[in-house]
Amino acid sequence: MQRRRLKRVMIGAFAACAVLADAGNAAAQATRSNEQVAITTPPAGAAAWVQDHSLGRTLPDPATADAATVAAFFASLTPAEQQQLAQSYPLVVGNLDGAPIQLRYQANRIAVQNELDRALAASTDKKLHADQRAQAASRANDSRPLLEPGRQILAFDPRGRGLVTEVFGDLAAAQRISVVVPGSDSDLGHHDPKDRPLQSSAGMARAVQAEEQKLSPGVPTAVIAWTDYVSPLGLGPDAVTSRLADAAVPRLLRFLDGLHRTTAPAAPPSLICHSYGSVVCGEAAPKLRGATTDMMILGSPGMNVDNAAQLGTGVQVWATRNPADWIGNVPYLEVGGLGHGADPTSPDFGAERISSAGAVGHAGYFDPGTDSLYNFATIALGDYQDVKYS
């Protein structure tokens, strides 16, 4: 009984602090407290895939095969065999870390078109309730832009609120790769909204890639918008626990392993972790392998550690928060599984504190001309001597 009471008090405290910091937006979000169901299983088609022996061999199980196994399997296929699998199982191939990049783009184009066709049909199906038709129409509107020329969709899953991963730049040729890990309210519908582009994962990635090209036009770069985990909605219970972050970590680690097998950058991909995305990055950090990974933390509620040293020796943490960001008024503590621990921008945390001058609010870090956007691109390029500190 006391534990339940404590949980209610803690959730109320987090929401109240956010409301005080940003009364309009956060108050509305705090009422949306429904818990989300994490997606931890392979996409539709996986069951048929593992039963398919049409190529005379066993296909790698999407639930258990690592990226090295997947990469070796596809390397053993002829181009015609790869095409056969992409056409027959677009959702499986499109989400299979370790599969060839261009084949995944192709498979996901098929998967998105299939979802668009399904949604359009449902939107006019008189047998469905009006609310269901409206939801289908909304899904069609969210899916259609992903089919525009030049879009590079590296992962797509229509389940739930929808998951999507998009690449900006030439991933196969990139010498520097960055991955944007977004926070709450990230899903297919919020992946790339036209009315507020720099507040979405696609807009953030697009802005960083453009800044990189401005600073170092001769360096091939790619920035990835990883809207590929079920994030919290608003400031409800999910936002103050690590449940969804814990479920996201295996997905992120598999994704990074897939990049390791299918790309050849000069350094490991850097991670740009916004808001609740920094909780995901904090949980993933001790499990990262290889050379030092740059991890940029912005607008963070905490990373579930007391200091940067607890994230592991393979992580270089760069942290920032602008004075107008309401997240600074959320309690930096952890009690009974609620809250995310120490403030990454505090002097005692041990991160490199970088400037975000010019940025305003929780979603202003990627605005043109801000120190934060400049720093993200500079760090991603490995030009550490040019970083602007706070």
Residues 6+ apart with CB under 8 A from 383: 215, 216
> From CA 232, how far away is CA 162, in angstroms rounded?
13
Residues 6+ apart with CB under 8 A from 376: 178, 208, 211, 272, 296, 365, 366
Residue 147, number of CB atoms within 10 A of its CB:
13
Q: What is the CA radius of gyration of the chain?
A: 21
Mean pLDDT of the region 69-92: 98
Given a contact cutoff of 8 angstroms between Cβ atoms, the answer to whether 98 and 257 are in contact is yes
Angle at CA of residue 90, ends 86 and 92, nearest 5°: 100
Tell whether the torsion through CA atoms of 307, 309, 315 and 318 is positive or negative.
positive
The tokens describing 30, both together, are 């705090």
Q: What is the pLDDT of residues 244-255, one digit of tens each?
A: 999 999 999 999
Residue 19 has pLDDT above 80, yes or no: no
pTM over 0.95: no
Which has more pLDDT, 321 or 1?
321
> From CA 89, how far away is CA 44, in angstroms rounded?
9
Residue 25 has pLDDT above 60, yes or no: no
Q: Quick one: which H or E segment has residue 222? A: strand 221-227
Residue 26 has pLDDT above 60, yes or no: no
- DSSP alpha helix (H) spans, 217-340: 243-262, 276-284
| DSSP class per residue in 133-185 | HHHHHHHHHHHGGGGSTT--EEEEE-STT-EEEEEEE-TTT-SEEEEEE--TT
Q: How confident is the model at residue 128 (pLDDT cuts 50, 70, 90)?
A: very high
| DSSP class per residue in 26-40 | HHHHHT--PPPPP--
Q: Quick one: which H or E segment has residue 225? A: strand 221-227
SS3 content of the chain, % helix, strand, coil (to 5): 45, 15, 40
Mean pLDDT of the region 305-327: 96
Mean pLDDT for all residues in the chain: 92
Residue 40, number of CB atoms within 10 A of its CB:
13
**156: β partners:** 164
Give the type of residue at 121. Answer: A
**252: β partners:** none
Residue 167 has pLDDT above 60, yes or no: yes
Q: For every residue of 307-369, which 3-state class applies, written as one string?
A: CHHHHCCCEEEEEECCCCCHHHHCCCCCECCECCECCCCCCCCCCEEECCCCCCCCCCCCCCC
Residue 20 has pLDDT above 50, yes or no: no
Residues 6+ apart with CB under 8 A from 166: 146, 151, 152, 153, 154, 191, 192, 202, 205, 224, 225, 227
The domains of the chain, with CATH numbers, are 1-35+160-390 (3.40.50.1820), 40-149 (no CATH)
Q: Check residue 285 and report its DSSP letter.
A: G
Q: How confident is the model at residue 5 (pLDDT cuts 50, 70, 90)?
A: very low
Q: What is the pLDDT of residues 103-121, one digit of tens each?
A: 999 999 999 999 999 999 9
Mean pLDDT of the region 213-218: 98
Q: How confident is the model at residue 33 (pLDDT cuts 50, 70, 90)?
A: low
Residue 340: CA count within 13 A, CB half-sphere: 30
Interior/surface letters 351-375, b for 16+ CB within 10 angstroms, e for the rest: bbbbbbbbbebbbbbbbeebbbbbb
Residues 6+ apart with CB under 8 A from 266: 175, 176, 382
Q: What percent of the chain has pLDDT over 90?
A: 85
Residue 10 has pLDDT above 60, yes or no: no
Q: Order of strands, edge to edge, in the sheet holding 270-274?
A: 153-157, 163-169, 221-227, 176-181, 270-274, 293-298, 315-320, 352-353
- pLDDT, residue 29, reads 44
